[in-house]
């Protein structure tokens, strides 16, 4: 691995790239995942590479939905396993009755097992013993999906009432909605089909969104069911996505008026 100097102005972004490259070399992420990461980087760049107030509001509504769920399922793909395996485990332990399920677009059973092993090793490092991770040997299909993303588990996505889908293509989010499930998405692209199909979309980098979501779950852990219903019910995803787009527009407007546009992320 190439050493990135700590004082490099793009240190964090470059380190994330290295995580993705390592994830791909270790057979967790596919090459297409590297391209998807690049698209995410571009949106993150436009958003200013920080967690916005819209992302925080969405994370709060997402926490409320996940805490109210009877069968919450956290979906993991190759990019998520490369970037945030530990955070995924921490979120699962914070949500009673939750299950982690490996769900892949470019599915191979070997990669599903490798991702489960990565999550298992993150769980051991965190001292987590009781965690259900579903990966290979799927036993159900999500109706209305022709891709391999349809392959799922009866004990997981198939019977879930709320599903967290960080960073994915839009077809499954739409299929999950058609099955009557609530969908929470994490996606830097506020225009994506996933972002638009979900009930709650956190427009933020998954590396910042998950810690924020874990924090909000902790903060709402003792809230009454009535309070949780209020929080989830008062959230308007379309409006929040509009605000995220507005944030990008305002930022670009500001930069375009500067004589020599200077952006800290450039």
Residues near ligand PTJ (CB under 6 A):
30, 32-33, 36-37, 39-40, 43, 77-79, 104-106, 167-169, 186-189, 192, 205-206
Tell me the two tokens of residue 193. 């089909």
Which lies closer to ligand PTJ via its Cβ, residue 135 or residue 189? 189
Collect all residues with Cβ–Cβ distance below 8 Å to 96 and sequence separation of at least 6: none
- Minimum CB separation of residue 135 from ligand PTJ in Å reads 12
Which lies closer to ligand PTJ via its Cβ, residue 69 or residue 102? 102
| Contact (Cβ atoms closer than 8 angstroms) between residue 182 and residue 65 | yes
- Minimum CB separation of residue 203 from ligand PTJ in Å reads 8
- Estimate the crossing angle of helix 206-220 against helix 225-233, to 10 degrees: 140
Which lies closer to ligand PTJ via its Cβ, residue 4 or residue 34? 34
- Minimum CB separation of residue 224 from ligand PTJ in Å reads 31
- Minimum CB separation of residue 217 from ligand PTJ in Å reads 18
- Minimum CB separation of residue 223 from ligand PTJ in Å reads 27
Which lies closer to ligand PTJ via its Cβ, residue 144 or residue 170? 170
| Contact (Cβ atoms closer than 8 angstroms) between residue 9 and residue 263 | no
Instruction: List the one residue out of 80, 81, 72, 79 whose CA is nearest residue 121.
Output: 81
Which lies closer to ligand PTJ via its Cβ, residue 150 or residue 206? 206
Tell me which residue has tokens 């819209």: 54
Instruction: List the one residue out of 112, 114, 155 whose CA is nearest residue 26.
Output: 114
Which residue lies nearest ligand PTJ, judged by its C-beta? 40
- Minimum CB separation of residue 165 from ligand PTJ in Å reads 9
Which lies closer to ligand PTJ via its Cβ, residue 12 or residue 32? 32
**Could you write out the DSSP letters of every residue in 96-137?**
TT-EEEE--SS--HHHHHHHHHHHHHHHHHTT-----EE-SS
C-alpha 176/C-alpha 196 separation (Å) is 13
């Amino acid at each position: 691995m190439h050493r990135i100097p700590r004082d490099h102005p793009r240190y964090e972004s470059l380190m994330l790239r290295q995580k993705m490259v390592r994830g791909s070399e270790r057979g967790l992420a596919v090459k297409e995942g590297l391209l998807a990461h690049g698209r995410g980087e571009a949106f993150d760049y436009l958003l200013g590479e920080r967690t916005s107030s819209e992302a925080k509001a969405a994370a709060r509504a997402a926490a409320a939905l996940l805490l109210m769920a009877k069968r919450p399922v956290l979906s993991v793909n190759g990019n998520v396993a490369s970037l945030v395996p530990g955070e995924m485990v921490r979120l699962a332990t914070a949500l009673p009755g939750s299950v982690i399920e490996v769900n892949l677009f470019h599915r191979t059973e070997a990669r599903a097992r490798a991702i489960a092993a990565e999550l298992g090793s993150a769980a051991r490092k965190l001292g987590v013993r009781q965690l259900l991770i579903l990966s290979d040997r799927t036993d159900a299909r999500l109706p209305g999906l022709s891709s391999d993303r349809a392959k799922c588990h009866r004990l997981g996505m198939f019977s879930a009432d709320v599903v967290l889908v960080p960073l994915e293509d839009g077809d499954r989010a739409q299929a999950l909605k058609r099955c009557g499930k609530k969908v929470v998405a994490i996606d830097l692209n506020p225009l994506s089909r996933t972002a638009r199909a979900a009930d709650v979309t956190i427009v933020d980098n998954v590396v910042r969104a998950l810690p924020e979501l874990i924090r909000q779950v902790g903060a709402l852990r003792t809230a009454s069911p009535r309070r949780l219903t209020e929080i989830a019910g008062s959230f308007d995803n379309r409006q929040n996505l509009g605000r995220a787009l507005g944030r990008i527009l305002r930022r670009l407007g500001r930069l375009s008026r500067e004589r020599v546009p200077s952006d800290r992320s450039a």
